[in-house]
Amino acid sequence: MTEKQFLFGKKNYILMGVGLALIAIGYLLMAGGASTSPDTFNEEMFSTMRIRIAPLVVITGFIVEIWAILAKK
């Protein structure tokens, strides 16, 4: 009987987990900033965290995911 072989190695799966964690953290950083009333404007929606840092974290997560898929075992 043959043993099952995984498509990726342990390193690949660890990198995939790190990439998914970065993507999730990026989306969590983007969340919030909603206005409690439609008549008032909330400046918090355009904070540096939501406009610049969070998208960079998400893009970094996707780059790590691509790297994890393409890395050799």
26-64 pLDDT per residue, tens: 999 999 777 778 888 878 888 889 999 999 999 999 999
Pull the structure tokens for residue 65: 């995911």
**Which pLDDT does position 6 carry in this prediction?**
80
Nearest one of 58, 30, 60, 59 to 45, comparing CA atoms: 30
**Which pLDDT does position 1 carry in this prediction?**
58
pTM above 0.95, yes or no: no
Domain ranges for the chain: 10-30+42-70
Give the up-direction half-sphere exposure of residue 70: CA atoms within 13 A in the CB hemisphere.
6
**Which pLDDT does position 53 carry in this prediction?**
96
